[in-house]
Amino acid sequence: MTSVKRKGILERLDAGEVVIGDGGYVLQLERRGYVKAGHWTPEAAVEHPEAVRQLHREFLRAGADVMQTFTFYSCDDKLDISGNAPNITCQQINEVACDIAREVANEGGALVCAGVSQTGVYKDRSSESEVKAIVKKQLDVFLRKDVDFLIAEYFAHVEEAVWAVEVLVTSGKPVASTLCISPKGDIDRVCPAECAVRLVKAGAKIVGVNCHVDPTQCLNTVKQMKEGLDTAGLRAHLMIQPLGFHCPDCTSAGYIGLPEFPFALESRVVNRWDVHKYAREAYTAGIRYIGGCCGFEPYHIRALAEELAPERGFLPPASQKHGLWGSALEGSSKPYVKARASRSHWENLKPASGRPLCPSMSIPDA
């Protein structure tokens, strides 16, 4: 599949455009029956390409400007651990994942971003060459498939992310990097400001966070990253792809440490109005690449696109089926439903969980 000539990621961001990211794949496809929890590897790209393609299409229709390849954890050491895809290789998965992402991206002018994530071999400095070899193997496939840009995402140690970035930049393609860290910093207690500085010095042009904590906590972290870069006199674009779950009670282990992870997170899902608020705060903080990670579904991405429609100048196709701020309810025959066709109703609502015996916060296991 060839790429259609279109404005690249850096051209868009350098011009001050808002870039809407996509949402979470592995968690969503686990729920749909195509990914095994615990392993979280993406062999569904080969086994059920139609399922992966459909999720990409829904994100595109919701307004995503970027299709991230379904290549999470797709390196030899992770797939071996999973042991549930004996005949499928990572190369195969990564090739097919790039093709699927390109096919859907071409349906709507989106860019293809190929991703690598934390490896299973990271220890200390001694693992540098091993980590880099794994990333290089993934990169070779991505280059053959001529993806538009690259991301090193979901790294908990900035040191490992820096190694990945160092390999990815050798391609000459733009490189983004997001860490799955809390406002306190990475696992080794490197603060977000320092993390951002190290990633940019390694060559990343777009830096930020993804996964592990909620939109509020991710905003806090990226703001610290921005301050760190400003203080160091470095320039980079900022990116944010938080969880689509509220977890103010989690520790630096993020949502993985919550007893509800991963099979009972539903009561924590952010709603579309939470996403409006998050999108506006991210934009105001100077972040221009705004998307979501685990828990972020197509309707959340549509909410991002709707909140930022004044800046972007258009609405996504999925908004044909959604009146802004509940206006579609004008057509309801029930007066009490019709009365909810107002921004103030949805903006001020404190949604009930409907679970009278449940606490609003948990005690994390880690």
Taking CB atoms, the residue at the shortest distance from ligand MET is: 25
Q: Residue 25: name its binding partner from ligand MET, Zn ion, none (Cβ under 5 to 8 Å by kind).
A: ligand MET
Q: What residues form DSSP beta bridges with 155?
A: 179
112, β-bridge pairs: 67
In a 13 Å sphere around the CA of 302, the CA atoms on its Cβ side amount to: 19
Q: Based on the shown chain and the rule CB under 6 A, indicate whether residue 68 belongs to the binding site for ligand MET.
A: yes
For tokens 């009930």, the residue is 352
Helix (H, G, I), strand (E, B), or coil: what is residue 82?
A: helix
Site for ligand MET in 281-310 (CB under 6 A): 293-294
Task: Among 9, 13, 19, 26, indicate the residue that binds ligand MET (CB under 6 A).
Answer: 26
CA distances from 119 to 25, 130, 138 (A): 18, 10, 12
Strand-pair category, 289-290 with 19-20: parallel
Based on the shown chain and the rule CB under 5 A, indicate whether residue 196 belongs to the binding site for Zn ion: no
Q: Which is nearer to ligand MET, 73 or 163 (CB)?
A: 73
Residue 64 or 197 with smaller CB distance to ligand MET: 64
Does residue 211 touch Zn ion according to CB under 5 A? yes
In angstroms, what is the minimal distance from the CB of 40 to ligand MET? 6
Cβ proximity to Zn ion: between 244 and 326 the closer is: 244
Provide the minimum distance between the beta carbon of 206 and Zn ion in the complex, in angstroms, as a whole number: 17
Q: Does residue 268 contact residue 245 with C-beta atoms inside 8 Å? A: yes
Of the residues 12, 18, 25, 85, which one makes contact with ligand MET according to CB under 6 A: 25
Nearest to 287 by CA among 231, 233, 232, 215: 215
Q: Which stretch binds ligand MET (CB under 6 A): 18-26, 273-281, 309-317, 339-347?
A: 18-26
How do 237-241 and 206-210 pair as beta strands? parallel
Q: Is 247 a residue that touches ligand MET (CB under 6 A)?
A: no
Measure Cα distances from 366 to 90, 174, 221, 304, 362 in Å: 31, 36, 20, 31, 11
Q: Which among 20-28, 134-142, 264-272, 325-333 is the span making contact with ligand MET, rule CB under 6 A?
A: 20-28
Q: Does 156 bind Zn ion (CB under 5 A)?
A: no
Q: Does residue 67 interact with ligand MET by CB under 6 A? A: no
Of these, 60, 64, 112, 294, which contacts Zn ion (CB under 5 A)? Answer: 294
Is 24 an interacting residue with respect to ligand MET (CB under 6 A)? yes
Residue 91's identity, in one-letter code, is Q
Per-residue b or e along 126-137, where b marks 16 or more CB atoms closer than 10 Å to that residue's CB? ebbeebbebbeb
Which entry of Zn ion, ligand MET, none binds 88, CB below 5 to 8 A by partner kind? none
The Cα–Cα gap between 313 and 293 comes to 25
* Comparison of 93 and 293: residue with beta carbon closer to ligand MET: 293
CA nearest to 179, candidates 210, 219, 216, 214: 210
The one among 293, 304, 305, 318 contacting Zn ion by CB under 5 A: 293
Residues that bind Zn ion (CB under 5 A): 211, 293-294
Binding site for ligand MET (CB under 6 A): 24-26, 68, 72, 115, 154, 211, 293-294
